[in-house]
Amino acid sequence: MANLSKGIKGWGITVLVMAVFIAGCSSNSGATEEQAQSPVTENATAGSGNSSESSQEAETRVVQDEFGDVTIPVHPQRIAGIYVEDYLKALDITPVVQWYNPMWGVQDYLSLDVPQFDTTGSIEALLEYDPDLIIVDGGVDREKYEMYSKVAPTYRLPESILQDSEQILAKIADIVGEQEKGVEVAAAYEEKIKDTKAKLAESVGDETVAVVRLNVDDNSLVLFGVKNRYTGFIYSELGLTPHALAGSMEAFQEVLSEEAIPQIDADRIIIFPSDGDWSSPENKEAIKVLDSKLWNSLPAVKSNKVYKMERSHWQSGAITANSMKMDDLLEQMTPQ
């Protein structure tokens, strides 16, 4: 009887375990079926969205730059535009850094609230800002290009377009995937050029214009030629007549000797400092050059047609800078 009792007891436990197991299986099966028929949960939706977004960000394409083919993101999110931040801002894109040079400072006119990247220092410093695309212009040769490329995919603008701000705008708009915005910005820019050119033609006519920079580090004066990428557009696009020396220059700019200063007998002179502004204490010594007899003997000085401009946007040939130059010229050279 004892053995029979133990057998019955053992059989009962086995039946109980099997019942629990079957119930559990039935419960899991029901839950699985219910989940299959119900909407995706909130967490799953979030996960799916992140995956899609990551997939989109991971898309790449191959484009050709100055040095060959380069693979870049289709949808770049963190762009470093070394020397070309102006174009990014025009496209409503905030770069992850702004270039800085100890000699020239930064492009203050852009009013960018981003960290500065010293272009004379280590390129590896860019790693801290985790760019997924770097765009550079003619200031970067092949050696530096290779160094930038080690930080992130790098696009070097073609040499053939570096003198044309609208071509640069179109190229950068394409590279960052903002073609429609680029067309919109270009249309507004062209309309402003047309309006400014007409007004300058009426107020300035064929009077000659010279653009001069005061180098505050050595107190020298530099004449900018018609091919200068910063200011050449006031002649080529806005129709102003260059002074004879500027018009015949092959170089972008030339330092003027003291003997050459009297030759700048233009009807109008535009001048700006190389760094800082007209009120910077460190520029006081350099500004004394404008008190010299040679400078004051110039026709434009005598007729009060010397226009002191701010150096930041006058030392850039980009879209935003050129637009600000047009504002300056209209304000100072046309009747208000």
* Closest listed residue to residue 325, CA positions, set 311, 313, 312: 313
Cα(156)–Cα(135) distance, rounded to whole angstroms?
Answer: 6
Tokens 């770049």 belong to residue: 76
* Same domain membership, residue 225 and residue 133: no
**Residue 202 maps to a domain:** yes
Cα(193)–Cα(30) distance, rounded to whole angstroms?
Answer: 71
State the pLDDT at residue 56: 54
Per-position pLDDT tens, the chain of length 336? 444 344 434 434 343 334 433 344 333 333 333 333 333 323 333 333 444 445 555 799 999 999 999 999 999 999 999 999 999 999 999 999 999 998 778 899 999 999 999 999 999 999 999 999 999 999 999 999 999 999 999 999 999 999 899 999 999 999 999 999 999 999 999 999 999 999 999 999 999 999 999 999 999 999 999 999 999 999 999 999 999 999 999 999 999 999 999 999 999 999 999 988 999 999 999 999 999 999 999 999 999 999 999 999 999 999 999 999 999 999 999 987
**Whether the Cβ atoms of residue 292 and residue 214 lie closer than 8 Å to each other:** no
DSSP H helical ranges for the chain? 2-37, 42-58, 85-90, 142-149, 165-175, 179-203, 233-236, 244-248, 284-287, 293-296, 299-302, 311-314, 319-333
Domain of 264 in residue numbering reads as: 185-333
Structure tokens at 101: 């040079």
* Same domain membership, residue 125 and residue 86: yes
**Residue 38 maps to a domain:** no
* Same domain membership, residue 225 and residue 199: yes
* Same domain membership, residue 248 and residue 125: no
Instruction: Please count the structural domains in the chain.
Output: 2
Cα(6)–Cα(29) distance, rounded to whole angstroms?
Answer: 35
Domain boundary among 115, 149, 177: 177
* Same domain membership, residue 194 and residue 143: no
Left, alpha or beta for 281 (phi > 0: left; psi -120 to 50: alpha)? alpha
Residues ≥6 apart with Cβ < 8 Å to 194: none
Cα(21)–Cα(24) distance, rounded to whole angstroms?
Answer: 5
**Residue 10 maps to a domain:** no
Backbone angles phi and psi of 251, in degrees to 5: -75, 160
* Closest listed residue to residue 212, CA positions, set 106, 305, 285, 320: 305
* Closest listed residue to residue 186, CA positions, set 197, 177, 178: 178
CB neighbours of residue 68 within 10 Å: 9
Residues ≥6 apart with Cβ < 8 Å to 123: 144, 147, 148, 150, 151
Assign residue 296 the CATH number of its domain. Answer: 3.40.50.1980
Radius of gyration over every alpha carbon of the chain, rounded to an integer in angstroms: 33
**Residue 205 maps to a domain:** yes
Residues ≥6 apart with Cβ < 8 Å to 325: 231, 233, 234, 309, 313, 314
**Whether the Cβ atoms of residue 85 and residue 115 lie closer than 8 Å to each other:** no
* Same domain membership, residue 282 and residue 222: yes
Domain boundary among 122, 154, 177: 177
**Residue 2 maps to a domain:** no
